[in-house]
Structure 1
Amino acid sequence: MDSHHDNEAGKILALRSVAEDPKFASEVLLAEYRTLREEILKKMDHRTSMVVCSVTVSSAVLGFGIDRQSGPLLLVSPLVSLLLGILIVFHNVQIGECSDHLRKQVEDPLFETFQGFYGWHRGKSDPKYRVKQRIIPYLLPLILIATAPAMVAVPLALANMGSLALSLPVLTVDVALLAIYATQLIKHRTKL
């Protein structure tokens, strides 16, 4: 029993000495940096795929709904675009959190240690800068991709209501999703 305990204590001491080695720490930091950068790039690719999917599916459904003059079918378009819009906001938040972590845990300490070091995440860290630089070319189109189908479909669906029993549940879900989407945009505005 004592030899097992001594063996475990020896392993802990060995791990501590490795962990205290600056070379080990820099390797772990570099591995974390690379992994998070790869994750950011993957999330950006997923986000792009969701945007394309949202535009394609909501446009097709909207077109079918207009062609068939079907209120319930028209209301499916905002459902798709808003669900994907919420997922896109979620991906943006995750990308922002990874970027913040890299800036705070990697780039800021390097900046403090090596004057003149200026990493990409550090340069893009000011939320006011991000919003001002990205509102017209990026944020506004993303918001419109998620909400424009609702702005088009809801009035057309109300004009072509047909069966209220079919349209009302979908309209209720659309309104709820729009509220959730708006809430997420406001809540995470500094991460977008």
Structure 2
Amino acid sequence: MNTDLKTYIERYTELELDLRKLIGRLSGTLCGECTRCCCDIIHCKEAIKSPFLKLIHRQADRFDDREGFLSATGCTLEQGRPSVCYEYFCDDHFYHQPDDLHAEILKILGALLLHATRNAQGNTALEDIKTEEELDQLDFLRLGKQLEESVLAIGIIRAFCRDGTLPEPALKTLRQIQIEE
């Protein structure tokens, strides 16, 4: 593994852990009371098919053919989850937002990991690259820039959650994050 990839993985992992904490804080009550399971083994399979995600979670040996990484209390992966695991919010999440701005911020929050990894190789996201050898040949200058945009965005969102204000320049920065529709 080259040093650019190693550095990127370390920074990406920090972002993912921050994202998990913030999403947990924002949706913990709603998700904690929910009786539906919004996860599926298909997503777990993505985490073991992706060389990038495997380098992050390092738990492919714990994958179960029937349950994936799922337990009775949810996903057992602390890091290295596919970006869809952060992108998805059920309709209840949006219903309980106080206004359209909060709903937009939630969508942006969910898009941060994909934004950090998009177009790693053409239109292919980093987690969709098929071999570890290909990972060593990527343009980490561009990926690093996207990652830092996501890091900046999570800081802005964290401040917004804390004090409820969002200056126009901060909103403009957030709107640069590409959201998959």
Q: Which has the larger radius of gyration?
A: 1
Q: Greater helix percent: which structure?
A: 1
Higher relative contact order (CA 8 A, sep 6+): 1
**TM-score of the pair, normalised by structure 1:** 0.32
